[in-house]
Structure 1
Amino acid sequence: MKYFWKNLFCVSKNDVQKRSPTTRNTSNGFSWHTCRHNESAANIKDFTSLPVHIQDFLYHRHCRHFPMLLDVPDKCGGADGSAEVFLLLVIKSSPENYVRREVLRKTWASERLHKGVWIRRIFISGVAQAGYEKKRLNKLLELEHREHNDILQWDFKDSFFNLTLKQILFLEWMERNCPQAHFLLNGDDDVFANTGNMVEYLQSQEDNNVTKHLFVGHVISNVGPIRHTGSKYYVPVQVHESESYPPYCGGGGFLLSGYTAQVIYKMSKSITILPIDDVYMGICLAKAGLAPFSHMGVKTAGLYIPSSKLDAHDPCYYREVLLVHRFLPHELYLMWQGIHDPTLKFPGETFVSRVKYQFCGL
């Protein structure tokens, strides 16, 4: 079977043409073409000493346009109707994470009207790596999409080093299909997100003006690339020469305005892709002269519990937060049910307002 990108694990054109009407090979900004690897990358100093996945990244770093396999062009009610979407949940998910997606659909990512405004949901994904497993997982996403109408999938290898590509392709889709959405939650599929609290926080912002900059989460600053080859986040000088990164929000989850999303996409067109997606967003913000801001309710490094004698998953600790990373699917389901239990007691000050930690039962 002939493939159109070497080493990018793309499905064949014939396979996509045989797909059901729920999938599509769009001509609206995407087309079947050859994205050949950049031969000159091999001339980079010490290229052959780099890990294979980094060599592959450098060969294909310039590739930004891939066919859509699954699309939801009407998710926001069309471009003209997208102003009705107050909070769009943009959830990064890999094809194999079926259980996570199903739990999120039943919990914090449920599409609903909250406090008079609409919350909508989209999962964004690439394709599994290769072979029969790839075919099965693509079929799985197709079946999910047929039932829930909530998946965007592009024909590129879904991997950690392609997360930035996933973000850019989504922002391109948003510009075309959902340009007037007020706010976005950009997050992973293993976070606990209190989306009701997010709506109320966003509604509290001055004038609730979608044309203003907003980018909030857990800000990370005064750090630079990890040069240790054994790290998942290893970035050699051949990929990023500078020893520092601009401030950025941890990629587990952050909130941004529709305006800021459009600015990031505009900046991305002239910024070389960096494989660490949250850092890349920070670079785009910095180029636009904008900055990320911290919110104490976003805990992408987890929620600090001061004693091992306390239950770290007691719902009373989580009722007032915005987002906490990381959760297993069953933990997410239980936590969502727990924070909505009308009998749940939360004595003392709330998480957001208190200066000192005061926990349930203390």
Structure 2
Amino acid sequence: MRKFKAKTLLLAAAVGLLILHLFKDFSDSKTLQHNFDVREDQVQLRQPITKSSSYVYSWTRCQQNTSASNITGFSSLPGNIKDFLYYRHCRHFPMLLDVPEKCGGAEKSAEVFLLLVIKSSPVNYDRREVLRKTWAKERLHNGVWIRRIFISGTMDSGFEKERLNKLLEYEKSEYNDILQWDFSDTFYNLTLKQILFLEWMERNCPKARFLFNGDDDVFANTDNMVEYLQNLKDNNGNKHLFTGHLIHYVGPIRDPGSKYFIPVQVYESDSYPPYCGGGGFLLSGYTALVIYNMSQSITILPIDDVYMGMCMAKAGLGPVAHIAVRTAGLHLPSKTLDAYDPCYYRDILLVHRFLPIQIYQMWHRIHDPNLICTKQPADG
């Protein structure tokens, strides 16, 4: 009899817990339903819901533009170009990692003199770690603040995608310096990455004075960048500036074998507006917001640096060359010279294509108080 009563009590307790659990699920579903506006083409949050401090959820379902297949010659295009044409209208993707307080809030963002905006894929952990310890270190230099942010999409699928996303979540929790959206981090989506960042900037960091925008495999002398920007006449970020390795009088590459292949189905004109090489360039906060505003009415082109030039051209603005930005690398007068002699890099702003170990060594060598140089930077 006692055993029967004990079993009965255990069963009653289990049923009670189940009822409580079901009630909680029902209550949660009602809460979620209250927080969402449901429409035919998308689900939008009325109020932001956070799973944790690292993840911010929002959903937009972007439908494939099937009419793209009616474009003349579509069937002969490579798969990546077809995908681009199917989805080039998509500009809104779920944000997985956010750091809205990076600039101290929108109103205090004017305290950020130079915001380093670094394009980085999820797998490039070693590059990010080195940059945090060298030229992208957040610090006060010459009395002004340098802040850092990495911008990323997602890679792979299934468990591997989850693992890479978790890696970025760990980094973000430790360094508070990663923005991530749930789109495929590919070469043809670099323009999308730029647009999403500029949208974030308008919302969270609209008064930042200047920006450096570049890749995670460059050597950037950010001390020199600050000093160059501080010496500008009558421009504290509130006027147009866009400078780097100027490229003009060129047009789209029509060779399907090229990484930069752009067929007429994507871009009809045979010429590009002037632009600066995407390895790295400097721009004012004013110009960054102009580019974002212009981008709202300009169809996406997969070559991101060209697209920035297109946005400036529409606004009646243009880029200018800076001799100390070498996105094509340094060109030494002789092969017998050491290509990594720090004296060639002490006075430059940027050089493209450095391995993490080279970045680490060069940063410390140019800051060696015992370094003595008589050499000048090589002509580029």
Contact residue 316 and residue 339 of structure 1 kept, 8 A = yes
Change (3 A) 1:19 1:312: farther
Matching residue's letter, 1:297: A
Contact residue 88 and residue 122 of structure 1 kept, 8 A = yes
Cα deviation digits, residues 109-168 of structure 1 (max 9, x gap): 000000000000000000013232211111100000010000000010100000000000
Give me the whole-angstrom Cα distance separating, in 2, the residues matched to 1:183 and 1:282.
18
Aligned to 1:23: 55
Q: By how many angstroms is 1:208 displaced?
A: 3.4
Q: By how many angstroms is 1:279 displaced?
A: 0.2
Aligned to 1:280: 307
Aligned to 2:165: 138
Q: By how many angstroms is 1:24 displaced?
A: 1.4
Higher helix share: 2
Find the residue that maps to 2:281 and give its secondary structure: strand
Aligned to 1:326: 353
Find the residue that maps to 1:103 and give its secondary structure: helix
Give me the whole-angstrom Cα distance separating, in 2, the residues matched to 1:21 and 1:186.
26
Give me the whole-angstrom Cα distance separating, in 2, the residues matched to 1:292 and 1:72.
29
Tell whether 2:97 aligns with 1:65: no
Matching residue's letter, 1:125: S
Matching residue's letter, 1:22: S
Find the residue that maps to 1:208 and give its secondary structure: coil
Contact residue 112 and residue 119 of structure 1 kept, 8 A = yes
Find the residue that maps to 2:162 and give its secondary structure: helix
Q: By how many angstroms is 1:48 displaced?
A: 1.3
Cα deviation digits, residues 167-194 of structure 1 (max 9, x gap): 0000000000000000000000000000
Q: By how many angstroms is 1:22 displaced?
A: 1.6
Aligned to 1:316: 343
- Computing the radius of gyration from Cα coordinates, the structure with the larger value is 2
Aligned to 2:144: 117
Matching residue's letter, 2:160: E
**Aligned counterpart for 2:188 among listed residues 147, 161, 170:** 161
Aligned to 1:339: 366
- Give the share of equivalent positions with the same residue, in percent: 72
Aligned to 2:70: 43
Contact residue 87 and residue 120 of structure 1 kept, 8 A = yes
Give me the whole-angstrom Cα distance separating, in 2, the residues matched to 1:195 and 1:229.
37
Tell whether 2:239 aligns with 1:212: yes
Tell whether 2:225 aligns with 1:198: yes
Q: By how many angstroms is 1:19 displaced?
A: 5.6
| More moved, 77-86 vs 122-131 | 122-131
Give me the whole-angstrom Cα distance separating, in 1, the residues matched to 2:128 and 2:351.
17
| More moved, 122-131 vs 245-254 | 122-131
- Number of equivalent positions: 332
- Normalised to the residue count of structure 1, the TM-score between the two structures is 0.90
Give me the whole-angstrom Cα distance separating, in 2, the residues matched to 1:291 and 1:49.
35
Contact residue 117 and residue 212 of structure 2 kept, 8 A = yes
Aligned to 1:85: 112
Structure 2 unmatched ranges of 5 or more: 1-48
Q: By how many angstroms is 1:87 displaced?
A: 0.1
Cα deviation digits, residues 238-294 of structure 1 (max 9, x gap): 000000000000000000000000000000000000000000000001000001000
Give me the whole-angstrom Cα distance separating, in 1, the residues matched to 2:76 and 2:156.
24
| More moved, 248-257 vs 336-345 | 336-345
Contact residue 50 and residue 56 of structure 2 kept, 8 A = no
**Aligned counterpart for 1:75 among listed residues 79, 102, 107:** 102
Cα deviation digits, residues 89-114 of structure 1 (max 9, x gap): 00000000000000000000000000
Contact residue 129 and residue 158 of structure 1 kept, 8 A = no
Aligned to 1:268: 295
Q: By how many angstroms is 1:209 displaced?
A: 2.5
| More moved, 250-259 vs 202-211 | 202-211
Aligned to 2:43: none
Aligned to 1:293: 320
**Aligned counterpart for 1:230 among listed residues 254, 257, 264:** 257
Give me the whole-angstrom Cα distance separating, in 1, the residues matched to 2:67 and 2:156.
25
Cα deviation digits, residues 29-76 of structure 1 (max 9, x gap): xx3121001010010111111111110000000000111100000000
Give me the whole-angstrom Cα distance separating, in 2, the residues matched to 1:169 and 1:311.
40
Cα deviation digits, residues 324-352 of structure 1 (max 9, x gap): 0010000000000110011111115x54x
Find the residue that maps to 1:252 and give its secondary structure: strand
**Aligned counterpart for 1:104 among listed residues 128, 131, 138:** 131
Find the residue that maps to 2:56 and give its secondary structure: coil
